[in-house]
Amino acid sequence: MPMPSSNREAGLLRFGVFEVDLAAGELRKNGARIRLQEQPFQVLTALLQNAGQVVTRDELREKTWPADTFVDFDHSLNTAVNKIRESLGDSASSPRFVETLARRGYRFIAPVDSVGAAATVSATAHDNGTRAGAPAPHGLTLHPELYVPVPRRGLVRALFALIQVMYLIFYVSGLAHLPDAERVASSFLPGWRALVIVGAVLVTGAVGIPLRFYLLSAVGFDFRKLGATFGRLFPFILALDQLWAVAPFLLLPRIGVGLAFAATAALLYVPFSERTLVRMAYRREN
């Protein structure tokens, strides 16, 4: 069913790197305003409010062109849609946003997120007079949950993927050098305690490898529910990452105590970085 307009008109509509402010009548890309005439903007608004649904040409005529307006409607609508596609960098032959259904109408095919205008004020935003979700200084747009400038999703996803690759290297290297890990562990934890360390490396490495491949594939294919999935997995990921944060101490003879502590301190923070990156790129659905 089309989303009720009362919900949609409460704030901002976001899709990809674009944002539509219905109250201000503005289309923005990565926070920068894009000029779009009133008629094409009204057509775009009608399509966004019915994202995923076919909006017929007759419906667009009723919503956008008053009954007492005498124009060549077909030509005007085609022109408006072309201007929308030009502003979005879209194509009629390979649409990413606006799909044409011959002799029927149009459909907005990209996922659209709605952000309530009254639900995004934080203490930080209150202090500096900036409303979350609204343009920040220098033309930036604040993230509605984290209150930081909205980054490029491609960059955020790439950083998240690099972290997964880093852990894969850790796991494979740890399993490949298991005898060395046992020798180092035995030097300061003799007896069965060293075997516990080796067993932990073996088990967590074997479990971590498929987990990291799953997260890599999810971000690679842009799995839209990764935010909710990662939220459910986070307690397990946090425990796993905290265990592997002490891995630098297995290299103690080579890197020394100081560098081992520094590396461990950095690795302790990494799972929280992963969570923040996921929240930047994928909003959790309630």
* Between 220 and 6, the higher pLDDT residue: 220
* Between 31 and 78, the higher pLDDT residue: 78
Mean pLDDT estimate for the chain? 77
- For position 210, what pLDDT does the model report? 92
- For position 154, what pLDDT does the model report? 84
**Whether this model's pTM surpasses 0.85:** no
Cβ neighbours, 10 Å, residue 267: 19
Summarised one tens digit per residue, pLDDT across range 168-207 is: 988 888 777 777 666 666 666 666 676 777 777 788 888 8
DSSP state of 135: B
What b/e readout covers 201-220, taking b as 16+ CB neighbours within 10 angstroms?
beebbeebeebbeebbebbe
Q: Angle at which helices 73-88 and 38-49 pack, to 10 degrees?
A: 80
